[in-house]
Amino acid sequence: MTSQRERRSRWLLAVLVLIWGVSWPVIKVGVAAVPPIWFACLRYVVGAACLVVIATLCGEVALPPRSEWRLIAVSGILQMATYSALTAVALTRLPPGRSAVLAFSTPLWVLPLSMWWLREQVPWSGRVGAGAGLVGVLVIASPALQRTTHDQLVPYILLLCAAAGWAVSIVFVRAHQFHASALSLAPWQMLLAALLLLPCAIEVDGPLPALNMRGLAALAYVGPLATAFAYWVMVEVGRYIRATTISVTLLAVPTVGLLISAVTFHETVNVSLGLGVALVSAGVLLTMTPREPVHRTNNVDLRRCLTSRPEPRHRDLSEHSERNALVRSQSGV
């Protein structure tokens, strides 16, 4: 049974890479039809609604305990609201493939934060990886430093700020002691993100315009699939596959996004972009260190949720380690 679940988890992980890779060109289409901050807000409205349904079926709907409020605030503000808003705005000016590579540079910022905040010991390979990754970021952003394309500098800065904000969230989660399941907290995090983005969207983008078919189609993909379903997949996969394995696999997401963007948006893969992708990928790979194996306990099977009555979950130390591994793996750390 365990081997079957491991195989299923590996297939789910492959599907997740494809979903997230495709999501970058889809968001590019979406922000061309819907104002970017409105798009980010509606994404989490739809995602939160879908996750409430999933969590209800799995018996995981509950008010978060007070001990989790800070986590919900940090994750909802930095990992969700800020990240989605900044990347959506950047995608109005930049091609999706190049954007995906920079947005997935999060592990490069996690390393120095972990050294400073958590006093983690970083091996030489991690330091070399961080340096290589930062060089790759500069290579990818080098066209924006030219006078003829100087107007693209701000979108690049927004993407790097989004990655750095996600890194702060990851480091905070590493030091957090969980008292609730990841699945039960996710709807509250997304609801907070939507509520924070709503006034920003009204102030920056004005009233919500009528949505056309392109905007609705993009939201229909990004909200339920790339947000709600993807989060459930990470919860499920994180119970059977090591966080390091997940992290390495997720390195394929920017590559998939870049390839799809090259086909659909005719994004040019020139020497600077190819070299930058190689350096960032190598840097992210070097900054990752092996993590402890994930304990295989208390699985949440969606088919069981659909066919059986929800029962209260028992929480123990193994669940805490699973959730920490899950959040690390969400951005390739």
- Spatial separation of the C-alpha atoms in residues 60 and 302, rounded to whole Å: 12
Convert the pLDDT of each residue in 45-74 to its tens digit.
Answer: 999 999 999 999 988 888 999 999 998 999
pLDDT for the residue 30? 96
Q: What is the pLDDT of residues 278-294, one digit of tens each?
A: 888 888 778 765 444 44
Q: How many CA atoms lie within 13 A of 206 on its CB side?
A: 4
What count of Cα atoms within 13 Å lies in the side-chain half-sphere of residue 5? 17
Tell me the C-alpha distance between 237 and 149, whole Å: 42
Give residue-wise pLDDT tens across range 221-260: 999 999 999 888 887 887 787 765 676 677 788 888 888 8
Residue 298 above 80 pLDDT?
A: no
190-211 burial by CB neighbour count: b if 16+ within 10 A, else e? bbbbbebbbeebeeebeeeeeb
Query: Closest Cα to residue 216, out of 34, 85, 84, 56?
Result: 34
The residue extents of the domains of the chain are 2-329
Q: Mean pLDDT of all residues in the chain?
A: 81
Say if residue 275 is exposed, middle or buried (CB neighbours under 10 Å; 0-12, 13-18, 19+): middle
Please check the confidence at residue 15 and state whether its pLDDT lies above 70. Answer: yes
Give yes or no for a contact between 111 and 164, defined as CB atoms under 8 angstroms apart. Answer: no
The predicted pLDDT at position 310 comes to: 44
CA pair distance 203, 220, nearest whole angstrom: 25
pLDDT at 329: 41
pLDDT tens per residue across span 174-190:
778 888 888 899 999 99
The answer to whether residue 32 scores a pLDDT higher than 50 is yes
Rounded-to-integer distance, Cα 71 and Cα 77, Å: 10
Neighbours of 3 (CB within 10 A): 8
In sequence order, what DSSP letters do the residues of 124-162 get, joined into one string? Answer: HHHHHHHHHHHHHHHHHHGGGGSGGGGGGHHHHHHHHHH
